[in-house]
Amino acid sequence: MAKQYDVVVIGAGPGGMTAALYASRANLSVLMLDRGIYGGQMNNTAEIENYPGFSSILGPDLGQKMYDGATQFGAEYAYGNVTQVRNQGALKEVITDEDTYLAKAIVIATGADHKKLGVDGEETYSGRGVSYCAVCDGAFFKNRELVVVGGGDSAIEEGLYLTQLASKVTVIHRRDQLRAQQIIQKRAFANDKMNFVWNAQVEAIEGDDMKVTGVKYRDKETGEEHVVPASGAFIYVGVNPLTSAFTDLGILDEAGWVPTDELMATRVPGIFAIGDVRAKNLRQITTAVGEGGQAGQSVFNYIQSLNDVPETVDAK
C-alpha cells in the first residue's frame, strides 16, 4: 500500500528543505523526495558568498546544514525519481520509479537543468571535456586551457573558479557585454587568466578520438570562423525547468515553468511550487529559502482548511 503523508516535497534543494522544515515544525508528517543527494545545485557550487550569516561557505557544507535543520522535527528523506503526480482531489498521488506515495499537499521544488548548446560535438564529448559543472570536473583540467560559454552569473563565477586550476580560461559570449553582476564582472576583468571573446556564436565543440581539443565559433559581426584551443568546454547558457512529471496537472505555462501566487500556490488546490521551477526572474538560494518558508506555512494553512468542519445552521 502507498504510504501517506500530510505533505510530500518533491526536491531537496534549499527551497525544498526549507519547506520541509516549516511544515514538519508545524507538526505535519513530511517526506522529501529527490532523485539525487540533498542540497541540489549547492553541491556543485564551490563558494557561496551571498547567503546571509556567512561571509563565505562551501556549497555542500551549506547543503548539509540545511538538511540537518530540515530533518530535526521529523521530516523524512528518500531517494525517488518522480515520474508523475496525479490529482485525486483531497489526496495527491506521487509516483516514482519504485514507489507511490499519497499526500494531502504537494510542494514542487524540482528546480531546473542546464540548457544545451545543441552544437556538433556537445553530446559526443560530454564527459570527455564538455561539462556543465566546474566544481565537479575542474580538477581534471589542471594547468590546461579551458573555454567557458556564457555571460551570466553562473558562467563568470564558474570561470573564476576554473582559473584556480587552469592555465587560461576564455569566456565566449554571444553579446558585447556580460550579464553577470558588476562585482563578479570586476573580479573577472581583473583576473589575468581570464580572456573574453565577444559577439561570438559557438558553432561546434572539436576534438580527437578521446577528448576536446577546441571550440569553434563564428564572429557575429564579420562572419569569420575561429577556433579557441581548449582541453575542456564548460557551458552555462541558461536553464530549463524540470517539470515533465507535472504536465498532466495543468499547472505549467507554455515554457514549462510553474506560475504561482504570492503564497506559492498553483492553480490546483493543495499543490505549491517554489524555487527555480517557478516562473520568475531571480533564481538564488536566498529566494528559494524565502519561498520555501512561505510554502511550508501555506501547506499548513491548506491542510487546516481541509480539517475545518463548517458550522450547520438550524433551520427551525
Per-residue model confidence as pLDDT tens digits over 70-85: 999 999 999 999 999 9
3-113+239-308 belongs to CATH 3.40.50.11540:
no
d(CA 1, CA 89): 19
Burial code (b: 16+ CB inside 10 Å, e: under 16) for 145-163 equals bbbbbbbbbbbbbbbbbbb
Q: What is the pLDDT of residue 312?
A: 44
Confidence at 215, pLDDT banded by 50, 70, 90: very high
pLDDT in tens, 227-253: 999 999 999 998 899 999 999 999 999
Give CATH 3.50.50.60 domain extents, the chain.
3-113+239-308, 130-235
Q: Which range, of 32-46, 55-69, 163-177, 194-208, averages the lowest pLDDT?
A: 32-46
Angle CA(81)–CA(83)–CA(84) in degrees, nearest 5? 135
pLDDT in tens, 158-174: 999 999 999 999 999 99
User: Does residue 46 have a pLDDT over 80?
Assistant: no
Q: What is the pLDDT of residue 238?
A: 86
Mean predicted confidence (pLDDT) in 286-292 = 96
Note the residue count of the chain: 316
Structural contact between residues 11 and 18, judged by C-beta atoms closer than 8 angstroms: no
* CA-wise closest residue to 202 among 183, 222, 226, 184: 226
Mean predicted confidence (pLDDT) in 83-99 = 95
pTM reported for the whole predicted model: 0.78
Q: How far apart are the first and last CA of the chain?
A: 46
Bridge partners, 34 (sequence order): 79
130-235 belongs to CATH 3.50.50.60:
yes
- What positions carry a catalytic annotation? 133, 136-137
Mean predicted confidence (pLDDT) in 265-293 = 93
User: Does residue 35 have a pLDDT over 50?
Assistant: yes
Structural contact between residues 238 and 154, judged by C-beta atoms closer than 8 angstroms: no
Confidence at 45, pLDDT banded by 50, 70, 90: confident
Q: What is the pLDDT of residue 310?
A: 54
The mean predicted confidence, pLDDT, of the chain is: 93
Q: Which range, of 3-17, 37-51, 98-112, averages the lowest pLDDT?
A: 37-51
User: Does residue 315 have a pLDDT over 70?
Assistant: no
Compare 17 and 139 and report the one with higher pLDDT.
17
What residue has cell string 534543494?
13
Mean predicted confidence (pLDDT) in 58-73 = 95
Q: What is the pLDDT of residue 295?
A: 98
User: Does residue 311 have a pLDDT over 60?
Assistant: no
pLDDT over 90, % of the chain: 83
* CA-wise closest residue to 84 among 73, 71, 95, 98: 95
User: Does residue 313 have a pLDDT over 90?
Assistant: no
